[in-house]
Chains A and B, each alone.
Chain A
Amino acid sequence: MIRAENIFKSFEDQEVLKGITTQFYPGKTNLIIGRSGAGKTVLLKLLVGLLSPTTGKVFYDDIDFFGLNKRQKRTIRMEVGMLFQASALFDSMTVEENIRFPLDMFTNMTRKEKLDRVNYCLERVNLHEVNDRYPSEVSGGMQKRVGIARAIVLKPKYLFCDEPNSGLDPKTAILIDELIRSITIENNMTTVVNTHDMNSVMGIGDNIILLYNGEIAWRGNRDEVMESNNEVLQNFIFASPFLQQLRDLALEK
């Protein structure tokens, strides 16, 4: 479990996060949603330790992450996998080398063991015969899946996904969502997804927090979204008249 406690974050005079306190649970896909500029990416970067909070604490299973020294932080980070918005695959390496990189760096596995693990991860994300291709030679959706494969190769306890569906068509986006959810349940990982994709909210939102102006404006799960009277949530989720009509129809049913 990951716990954020009273997180404040400012950049010069601008306060981006204002007292965020929340929990992210294992075996669930925890969503951080909100409009652009609401502070989602800053919160995610704080949770993984790429940024430090102005004040506040982040706990990984009751371990205060920012109270650790660099070596201890690295130990925690080896239990963290992250899928980046633009996948962040290393251009000069093949798909196989990208996924194998954490194994090469941190394990004493034999070459065959590494290859077996890489192939298992590729199989798990439904990718076949792409080992020798470079990231530029595969589609955006495939790059995301390679990103997921690389993120899970060290069997992490925590998985972070920064806008996993950005730039993908709706069908591929749903496939990626389903993949993230099934991997989360299968490995009992604490998964935190930063998104503003409504399909993700309604499809995989086991535990959702809505950020608005740096504060948590609403929290709940996908079943509670429809029935909530929270104005900020309603304005965010059902932003277009078409979606509002859909909601009304659903509620009537």
Chain B
Amino acid sequence: MFLKNFLTHLGRYVIMMRMAFSRPENMSMYYRETLRQMNDIGIGSVMIVGLISIFIGAVTAVQFAYQLDGTLVPTYYIGYIIRDSTIIELAPTITCLVLAGKVGSNIAAEIGGMRQKEHIDAMEIMGVNTAAYLVMPKVIAALFVIPMLVAIAAFISIIGGFAAAVPTGLMSTAEFVQGVRSFFEPYNVFMMFVKSVVFAGLLTSVSAYQGYYVEGGSIELGKASTNAVVFSDILILLADYVIAVLLTG
């Protein structure tokens, strides 16, 4: 039963994505919609991403300072650990988990609401490829904008670490800067962007799928919105592990 359900959903997801990436009827309409989505997903999420990132950096700084206290590890390592943990793991993963909640649920509710109010039927009858018009611009917008948000999150997170560590006397500015500049591997930034692109694709397409095939009333729409977040989160964590294995192996 579980396997049958899984295969049914996988099949429908693949069909939807294939339709979503077929040739657009009118390129300028899709372009405009993509820009609108970039604004909604990107600009609309900067505040929450910034707020979360500053605390992630701050907590990382305080907790590593606590763990390294009384050890022989030099204090400037706190800066190094903040930088690398942020770039490799915390910025892409936490940001995308948060975006799955904010953007993912919004996408599922928006498309699901359109399904229930017969907007999708109306577009179908006009001859619009609804999967393409409703899904493709969201996915493409997310693929461009979410890596930018993740980069911003990583930067703010390091600033948050500085704000928590230096003014409170855990370490000096010089030590923090030395830590942040030590042992830098550009490959880690590449890994951050790979993760953010994969997570962006997952969270938007899975959420769009949940909304696109919603049936019933407001309870089902609520469930679809919840499922969008839950399944996106699970797939992001799974993909995080797979990418970690593949790119560090």
Q: A-side interface residues toward B, CB under 8 Å?
A: 48-50, 74-75, 77-78, 80-82, 84-86, 88, 90-91, 101-102, 104-106, 154, 160
Q: A48 CA to B126 CA in the complex, in Å?
A: 10
Known contacts A86-B117, A88-B117: does B127 contact A106 (CB below 8 Å)? yes
Kindly identify, within residues 126 to 152 of chain B, every residue whose CB is under 8 Å from any CB belonging to chain A.
Answer: 126-129
Q: Enumerate chain B residues within 8 angstroms of A77, measured Cβ to Cβ.
A: 124-127
Q: Enumerate chain B residues within 8 angstroms of A50, measured Cβ to Cβ.
A: 121, 124-125
Q: A165 CA to B241 CA in the complex, in Å?
A: 56
Residue from A75, A102, A160 whose CB has the most chain B CB atoms within 10 Å = A102
Check if A105 sits within 8 Å of B26, measured CB to CB: yes
Known contacts A104-B29, A105-B26, A106-B26: does B118 contact A84 (CB below 8 Å)? yes
Q: A84 CA to B126 CA in the complex, in Å?
A: 12
Q: B-side interface residues toward A, CB under 8 Å?
A: 25-26, 29, 117-119, 121-122, 124-129
Q: Enumerate chain B residues within 8 angstroms of A84, measured Cβ to Cβ.
A: 118, 121-122
Q: Enumerate chain A residues within 8 angstroms of B125, measured Cβ to Cβ.
A: 48-50, 77, 80-82, 160
Q: Enumerate chain B residues within 8 angstroms of A104, measured Cβ to Cβ.
A: 26, 29
Q: Enumerate chain B residues within 8 angstroms of A90, measured Cβ to Cβ.
A: 119
Check if A74 sits within 8 Å of B127, measured CB to CB: yes
Q: How far is the CB of B178 from chain A (nearest CB, A)?
A: 51
Residue in A78, A85, A88 whose beta carbon sits within 8 Å of that of B127 in the complex: A78
Q: Enumerate chain B residues within 8 angstroms of A105, measured Cβ to Cβ.
A: 25-26, 29, 126-128
Q: A86 CA to B117 CA in the complex, in Å?
A: 8
Closest Cβ neighbor of A80 among chain B residues:
B125
Closest Cβ neighbor of B120 among chain A residues:
A88
Q: Enumerate chain B residues within 8 angstroms of A81, measured Cβ to Cβ.
A: 125
Q: How far is the CB of A217 from chain B (nearest CB, A)?
A: 28
Check if A88 sits within 8 Å of B29, measured CB to CB: no
With A49-B125, A105-B128 given, can you name 10 additional A-B contacts, CB distance below 8 Å?
A49-B124, A50-B124, A78-B127, A80-B127, A81-B125, A82-B122, A84-B118, A85-B118, A88-B119, A88-B121
Q: How many A-B residue pairs have CB under 8 A?
A: 49
Q: How far is the CB of A159 from chain B (nearest CB, A)?
A: 11
Q: Enumerate chain B residues within 8 angstroms of A75, measured Cβ to Cβ.
A: 127
Check if B25 sits within 8 Å of A88, measured CB to CB: no
Check if A102 sits within 8 Å of B126, measured CB to CB: yes
Residue in B25, B119, B124 whose beta carbon sits within 8 Å of that of A106 in the complex: B25
Q: Enumerate chain A residues within 8 angstroms of B119, measured Cβ to Cβ.
A: 88, 90
Q: Enumerate chain A residues within 8 angstroms of B122, measured Cβ to Cβ.
A: 82, 84, 88
Q: How far is the CB of A202 from chain B (nearest CB, A)?
A: 28
Q: How far is the CB of B121 from chain A (nearest CB, A)?
A: 6
Q: How far is the CB of B189 from chain A (nearest CB, A)?
A: 37
Q: Enumerate chain A residues within 8 angstroms of B118, measured Cβ to Cβ.
A: 84-86, 88
Q: A102 CA to B128 CA in the complex, in Å?
A: 9
Q: How far is the CB of A114 from chain B (nearest CB, A)?
A: 13
20 examples of A-B residue contacts, CB within 8 angstroms = A48-B125, A49-B124, A50-B121, A50-B125, A77-B125, A77-B127, A78-B126, A82-B122, A84-B118, A84-B122, A85-B118, A86-B118, A88-B121, A88-B122, A90-B119, A105-B25, A105-B26, A105-B128, A106-B26, A160-B125
Q: A82 CA to B128 CA in the complex, in Å?
A: 14
Closest Cβ neighbor of A104 among chain B residues:
B29
Q: Enumerate chain B residues within 8 angstroms of A80, measured Cβ to Cβ.
A: 125, 127
Q: A227 CA to B107 CA in the complex, in Å?
A: 55
Q: Enumerate chain A residues within 8 angstroms of B127, measured Cβ to Cβ.
A: 74-75, 77-78, 80, 105-106
What are the nearest 4 A-B pairs in CB distance?
A: A77-B127, A88-B118, A74-B127, A88-B122
Q: Enumerate chain A residues within 8 angstroms of B128, measured Cβ to Cβ.
A: 105
Closest Cβ neighbor of A150 among chain B residues:
B122
Q: A9 CA to B144 CA in the complex, in Å?
A: 45
Closest Cβ neighbor of A83 among chain B residues:
B122
Closest Cβ neighbor of A90 among chain B residues:
B119
Closest Cβ neighbor of A85 among chain B residues:
B118
Residue from B26, B117, B118, B126 whose CB has the most chain A CB atoms within 10 Å = B126
Q: A106 CA to B118 CA in the complex, in Å?
A: 20
Q: A88 CA to B118 CA in the complex, in Å?
A: 6
Q: How far is the CB of B38 from chain A (nearest CB, A)?
A: 16
